Structure 1
Amino acid sequence: MKRKTHFQFKQFEVQHDRSTMKVGTDAVLLGAWAHVANANRILDIGTGSGIIALMAAQRTSPLTQIDAVELEGQDAAQAADNFSASPWGDRLHVHITPIQDFTPPQTPSLYNVILSNPPYFINSQEPPNKRRHEARHTVTLDHAALLGAVDRLLTREGTFNVVLPYTEGLQFITLAQPRGFFCTRQYSFRTREGKPIERWLLEFSRKERATETGEILLYKEKLEWSDSYVELTRDFYLKL
């Protein structure tokens, strides 16, 4: 079967034939779930095809500027093409660099919201493709380095949002707290009721407060999407 080379959403299209990681549920979840509406400046770390940055652009003011950092040249080029083809090309900017070396090009230099669908496999079998390996495994960006970059680039009042698998997400919460980041929203995601949790959607803030919790299910029966998933993604999927 020929793999789909693009995804058509309600307000934009994402080509991903040159991207290391294809458009998937993780990115859609984070792009729809994170609170971005009031942000003036947003940073997407590891943008890939650019889908999370595009979703953020759809949900924010015409004055909101969005920087997207990507290590892989092919991915960055594809994200740039997707940005240019979107209605928000004038406020989406791609930067080809490791996040550890990234210097914001604008003043003020800090971000209200940082988003990332980061590498997450820590101790697991490596895939044979080098680009895919680095995109999925914490080789070029481990979680401590990611938190260090967020600490450097996030405003005092800002939020940092990630999507991670179950075990890695819990480890990330433990790793973040000694660095001054507290989990302020924590939503689980699973395919069906009674199935194990597959992903955590996590929001972090420098200010400690009660954690908002919730759950999103993909299906309610057979292949019918659940009410929680439909409500989250209705502004993006064509069939909703």
Structure 2
Amino acid sequence: MKVGTDGVLLGAWAAVRPQDRRMLDIGTGTGLIALMLAQRAPEAHVTGVDIDDVGQARENAAASPWSGRVAFAQCPLFSPPPPPGPGGGPPAPRHAVHLPFGDLRDAVLRLLAPGGRFAVILPTAEAERFLAVCAGRLALVRRTDVRTTPRRPVKRALMEFVRADRPADRSADCSAAAPEVSELVVGTGEHECYTPEYRALTRDFYLKF
């Protein structure tokens, strides 16, 4: 399976809670994030959707211990399988090549269950544009800015949202006025050397780390 740092980061970082039962992976590709979520949430059923072929994702799921709780469908986001149930939220892909930010926002608003969360990883400039598109509709509750090494500028933003029109979703575990903000550095700057923080976040998903 092709494994990218962005996918590993999102799959490991997205909030998973004991009450989560249904999750949606938008732009699933090889199924990496869907399988990571299934690994992290033993009671949840995960659906991955992609506008492109999902054959590789199905093969990867079939070879995994979580095949019974993971399903994939090739379809536009506008006609997906049944949406996540209570407590579920859809992690999304890094890029919006086939799905403009406004369409992604509207799809999340339509699919997100009460109490659910939506997580995404985006390049920094795109993250700011997405925040502007979501203003007043989706509320940012958690953000982690990602650097590749300590001396490099921030390149990516991991962000988690709830519906802005459901105050109870926000007050459950965060302040409505101040999202939780942090920073993560992936590498130390030496070849193939990772920081303790990155290792702690992702070590459950690497065979050798």
Shorter-chain TM-score range: 0.7 to 0.9
The question of 1:174 aligning with 2:150 is answered no
Percent identity for Structure 1 against Structure 2:
38
Distance in 2 between the 1:79 and 1:221 partners? 33
In the alignment, residue 14 of structure 2 is paired with which amino acid?
A
Residue aligning to 1:229: 198
Q: Tell me by how many angstroms 1:110 deviates.
A: 6.3
SS in 2 for 1:231: helix
Q: Tell me by how many angstroms 1:111 deviates.
A: 6.3
Q: Tell me by how many angstroms 1:118 deviates.
A: 4.0
Residue aligning to 2:154: 197
Distance in 1 between the 2:116 and 2:139 partners? 12
Shift of the 199–185 alpha-carbon distance from structure 1 to 2, 3 Å rule, reads same
Distance in 1 between the 2:72 and 2:187 partners? 34
Distance in 1 between the 2:85 and 2:200 partners? 34
Gaps of 5+ in 2: 171-175
| Contact 2:146-2:183 within 8 A present in 1 as well | yes
4+ residue segments displaced more than 2 Å: 108-111
Richer in strand (by share): 1
| Contact 1:119-1:142 within 8 A present in 2 as well | no
Residue aligning to 2:95: 119
SS in 2 for 1:234: helix
Corresponding pairs, count: 196
Post-superposition Cα deviations, 1:145-191, rounded to whole Å, max 9, x if no partner, equal: 1111111111121100000000000111111123x211100101111
Q: How does 1:89-100 map to 2 (within 5 A)?
A: 89-100=67-78
| Contact 1:111-1:153 within 8 A present in 2 as well | no
TM-score in terms of structure 2 length: 0.88
Post-superposition Cα deviations, 1:99-122, rounded to whole Å, max 9, x if no partner, equal: 0121418xx7566111111424xx
Distance in 1 between the 2:17 and 2:64 partners? 18
The question of 1:218 aligning with 2:186 is answered yes
Residue aligning to 1:186: 143
TM-score in terms of structure 1 length: 0.77
Post-superposition Cα deviations, 1:56-96, rounded to whole Å, max 9, x if no partner, equal: 011012x31111111112xx010011111110101101011
Q: How does 1:1-240 map to 2 (within 5 A)?
A: 15-16=1-2, 23-38=3-18, 39-61=20-42, 63-73=43-53, 76-104=54-82, 112-120=88-96, 137=97, 140-178=98-136, 180-206=137-163, 207=167, 208=170, 209=176, 210-223=178-191, 224-240=193-209
Shift of the 220–118 alpha-carbon distance from structure 1 to 2, 3 Å rule, reads closer
| Contact 1:189-1:218 within 8 A present in 2 as well | yes
Considering only aligned residues, what root-mean-square deviation do their CA atoms show, in Å?
1.7
SS in 1 for 2:91: strand
Deviates more, 1:218-227 or 1:109-118: 109-118
